[in-house]
Amino acid sequence: MSDFNNKVVWITGASSGIGRALAIAFSHAGAKCILSARNTSALEETQRMCTNPDKQVVLQLDVTDEQRVEYAVREVVDLGGVDILINNAGVSQRSTVEKTDMSVYRSLMEVNYFAVVKLTKTILPHMIKQGQGSIVTISSIAGKVGPPYRAGYAASKHALHGFFDSLRAETSHKGIRSLVVCPGYINTPIAHNALAGDGEKYNKRDAENANGLDANDLAQRILKAIKKKKTEVYFGKFEVNAVRLKRFLPGILTKMLSKKFLEDPEK
Which of 113, 149, 153, 185 is flagged as catalytic?
153
- In contact, 46 and 35? CB cutoff 8 Å: yes
Domains and CATH numbers, the chain: 8-263 (3.40.50.720)
149 is catalytic: no
188-199 exposure pattern, b = at least 16 Cβ within 10 A, e = fewer: bebbeebbbbee
pLDDT at 210: 80
User: 228-262 pLDDT, tens per residue?
Assistant: 999 999 999 999 999 999 999 999 999 999 998 88
The helix/strand/coil state of 135 is strand
User: 189-231 pLDDT, tens per residue?
Assistant: 888 889 999 999 888 877 788 888 999 999 999 999 999 999 9
- In contact, 71 and 94? CB cutoff 8 Å: no
Count of CB atoms within 10 A of residue 98's CB?
7
Report the C-alpha gap between 63 and 19 in whole angstroms: 14
User: 22-70 pLDDT, tens per residue?
Assistant: 999 999 999 999 999 999 999 999 999 999 999 999 999 999 999 999 9
| Residue of 149, 30, 136 whose CA lies nearest to 89 | 136
